[in-house]
Chain A
């Protein structure tokens, strides 16, 4: 059984969705608890991938393939988890989207994929999202983090507007706001009163983890 965990981890590192799904099915057939397969087999694979990416041994396409493999494994394991009446504890709830007027989605989607693969519940609102939509989804889900992407200097203002809307609607104290996109700087984060930014998708995962570690009780405040 122990050997299967290594194979599961490797299937994620290899970015092999079919193999990952097969291993997940095999694990269930062998009576391994879905959560055990996720936490001891597949999640360590994503952690390994993140480390290799940081060392420039793996690159974005590798990481996306790994995320796909993770998705395939979860696609097998989560229904079984549900059937058993269990819920995989979410690492946090994230609302993502591209700022109003901006239709660039690659960066934001990549962040969402990696966050999902790392155990977060991600709700992607897509592109050209108004600050009101961000606020409504945040309220609906009791989100821990709102992530607003903007590629253009002209649409960066939309990030500020999301912070202001969350403030106006009384949600700001219960949610962390992170921003991303090529023109975003630390100075901009300070200027608009956001909580952080990351230079790439991998750093975004680290940022989200660190923000949630800083405010473990906020979810219960909501």
Chain B
């Protein structure tokens, strides 16, 4: 039996969905993109003044065509992330502006070299099934901030990627980069490597950019992950159940637009819901109620048979301390028990504003424990204990039993040295242990092989787009053979001429 934790009874799930359908049909949702309004209107929604009232049967038709599962693939084309059922995966949190400097432990603006370090560490940690475009690189112009992150992740990683676009124009470039990485748009559609987070604005507003993204992604066959963000008490009802209704309505509207653009295109029922802290006005991602919202939202999505996503394993504190450990591991356990397919957020502090590579390796330990927890307690032997007792009697020498040696690796998880079990009172503290682990992982990192034609295709797109805004180099993109930017550019120009 796989342990599972559900916070809603069936009756409450039904009521949540009923109210969500009712909201969409009566109050409606704002829809910014004319193309989305057109799609909804022609399918039977009532569209007036940028608001679409979507009847239940239209939403239900969309739900019928959504794939119940899909996979993200690594660069070699192997299935790595299974969106569907109760499978649970984790990826680092996305898109923060700052990084907690490894040396000073003070936050500073993140640069492309920081993202590369994070990608290298996440690449080496099996706890992260996928990479994320984790930070905004402040050393490149903001207008290319989104695709540049993706370029760096594709350059330094072979894992699947959780990403997202900042504008309609750059979404096209990102899809082009992914198609180059997959050696063609058809291959990208067949074996997608990335999923794109798309965020409606709470409450019930599919902005022009968000709705457009959903349509573009559906047509490109690149999976979309709806990241609905109700803030209970501020931009959503204060009750957790009420906020879950809003989340459901936003997801249902997004799915309808998405499926009208391209039925059968993969989409995820995801989110980053949070409570609104009435004491500070902040949005605590480490609060237990936030975790409860994630669990409740995912349960509603699961009741519809959809792939799910949530935002957990983060802390609101500013430092790597007990609060960080408590909030991050607590929510990792809850998310895993809820069977959420992709749990984003590891490594993050300060209300998702700051990343820490040291925290990422600490969180990996919490994730391992959570994964061990959901693998449950199984009957590994024919008799549970009798045969073993028959061999040891009351002497208690189980350590020497063959069963012990055969099964201890299945039964016990062995953490890295980040977790102190040395029994040494002078052992280094958690931060120092994490720093050492980061160093060890970076030293053992080996850049995955990117086929030369893929590398060239990625560079061609990157140079075209970077050149268009006057950039003279590609920060943090290192070439295997030590070529510089001009050399590669001249090679590409030559190959184009030929």
**Is the C-beta of A89 less than 8 angstroms from some C-beta in chain B?**
no
Closest CB in chain B relative to A66 CB, distance in Å: 10
Contact between B408 and A61, CB atoms less than 8 A apart: yes
A contact residues around B405 at 8 Å (CB): 15, 61-62, 64-65
Give Cα A56 to B404, complex, Å: 17
Interface size class for chain B? 10 to 19
Among B400, B409, B422, B425, point to the contact of A64 (Cβ < 8 A). Answer: B400
Among B396, B408, B423, B425, point to the contact of A59 (Cβ < 8 A). Answer: B408
A-side interface residues, number (CB < 8 Å): 15
- B residues contacting A by CB (< 8 A) are 396-397, 399-400, 404-405, 408-409, 414, 422-425
**Is the C-beta of A60 less than 8 angstroms from some C-beta in chain B?**
yes
Contact between A185 and B425, CB atoms less than 8 A apart: yes
Give Cα A54 to B234, complex, Å: 54
**Is the C-beta of A110 less than 8 angstroms from some C-beta in chain B?**
yes
Contact sample, A vs B, 28 pairs, CB 8 Å cutoff:
A15-B405, A56-B414, A59-B408, A59-B409, A59-B414, A60-B399, A61-B399, A61-B400, A61-B404, A61-B405, A61-B408, A62-B405, A64-B399, A64-B400, A64-B405, A65-B400, A65-B405, A68-B400, A106-B396, A106-B397, A106-B399, A109-B397, A110-B399, A182-B423, A185-B425, A199-B422, A199-B423, A199-B424
Give Cα A61 to B408, complex, Å: 8
Cβ-closest 9 pairs across A and B: A61-B405, A61-B404, A199-B423, A64-B400, A65-B405, A61-B408, A64-B399, A61-B399, A60-B399
A113 nearest CB neighbor, chain B only? B400
A contact residues around B408 at 8 Å (CB): 59, 61
Q: Which of A10-68 contact B (CB under 8 A)?
A: 15, 56, 59-62, 64-65, 68
A contact residues around B396 at 8 Å (CB): 106
Q: Which of A87-131 contact B (CB under 8 A)?
A: 106, 109-110
Give Cα A199 to B422, complex, Å: 8
A contact residues around B397 at 8 Å (CB): 106, 109
State the total of A-B contacts with C-beta under 8 angstroms: 28
B contact residues around A60 at 8 Å (CB): 399
A contact residues around B424 at 8 Å (CB): 199
A109 nearest CB neighbor, chain B only? B397
0/1 interface trace, chain A 193-214, chain B, CB 8 Å (1 if under): 0000001000000000000000
B contact residues around A61 at 8 Å (CB): 399-400, 404-405, 408
Give Cα A109 to B399, complex, Å: 11
Give Cα A122 to B265, complex, Å: 70
A contact residues around B399 at 8 Å (CB): 60-61, 64, 106, 110
Give Cα A199 to B424, complex, Å: 8
Give Cα A197 to B397, complex, Å: 24
Closest CB in chain A relative to B392 CB, distance in Å: 12
Closest CB in chain B relative to A54 CB, distance in Å: 12
Closest CB in chain A relative to B129 CB, distance in Å: 23
Closest CB in chain A relative to B256 CB, distance in Å: 51
Give Cα A65 to B402, complex, Å: 8
Give Cα A110 to B400, complex, Å: 10
B contact residues around A15 at 8 Å (CB): 405
B contact residues around A62 at 8 Å (CB): 405
Give Cα A132 to B396, complex, Å: 28
Closest CB in chain B relative to A85 CB, distance in Å: 34
Give Cα A60 to B398, complex, Å: 11
Give Cα A106 to B399, complex, Å: 9
Closest CB in chain A relative to B215 CB, distance in Å: 50
Give Cα A106 to B423, complex, Å: 17
Give Cα A215 to B405, complex, Å: 37
Closest CB in chain B relative to A104 CB, distance in Å: 10
Give Cα A193 to B35, complex, Å: 84
Give Cα A110 to B399, complex, Å: 9
Give Cα A65 to B401, complex, Å: 9
Give Cα A110 to B424, complex, Å: 20
Which residue of B396, B399, B404, B408 has the most chain A CB atoms within 10 A of its CB atom?
Answer: B399
